[in-house]
Amino acid sequence: MAFSRIVKAAMLATLAPLSGATSSQMEANPIRKVVTMLQAMQSKVTEEGEKAEELFGKFMCYCKNSGGDLSGSIQAAELKIAELGPEIQGAEEKKLKTEEELKSDQDERVAAKTAMAEATALRQTVKGVYDKYMAESSTNLAALNKAITAVEKGMSGGFLQTRSASVLKAFLSSSKDVMDTDRQELLAFLSAKEGDEYAPQSGEITGILKTIKDEMFAEEQETMATEA
């Protein structure tokens, strides 16, 4: 509005000297056209000034309202950040704890796999020892049974030439479970030459062989029960 008042005052000051002229003088005066144009310009400038002032008012109102909304948004955001701070910290701590637990689980899994592999290897070793023991025990028991049968039938000479006699001799030579006196007597028997016959009436050799067989059989059964 101030702008339009200034323009209006300027226009009036310009037109003042012409206001005293008569109608005929105005019509004859070529300045009349200029005055008319200036009046039209004054009206247009005034109108545009009013529009500009209206737009300026709207702009100031928008800036004021927008500034308030922006300030409110900033304050709300700051409050939200303050509220989320503990939550973010808690989430980070939970994440760290989860990572530590995951690493612990992975370490435990690796340790479990290692223990399982070691247990499997040990089991295979034990099984190998067991299979070897059972094979040797079965062979030695078979040799003892054949020796007992041969001696009881008075056919020890023929037995001494068999592979079972060699097996029995090797067993007696290495076994720590046989008494030295029994070992020496049995090795002497097994070392006899073909044609020598053992007299079964004494029953000494037969008794020793049966005792060794019974002890070996009992040990074999116990080992089988343990393995099962």
Amino acid in position 113? K
- Cβ(147)–Cβ(159) below 8 Å: yes
Q: How far apart are CA 46 and CA 52, in angstroms?
A: 10
Beta-carbon contacts of residue 130 (< 8 Å; ≥ 6 apart): 223, 227
Q: For the whole prediction, is pTM greater than 0.85?
A: no
- Give the end-to-end CA distance of the chain in Å, rounded to a whole number: 112
What are 126-137's pLDDT values in tens digits? 889 999 989 999
Q: How far apart are CA 148 and CA 83, in angstroms?
A: 95
What are 182-205's pLDDT values in tens digits? 999 999 888 876 555 545 444 788
| Tokens (6 digits) for 152 | 């009881």
pLDDT of residue 143: 93
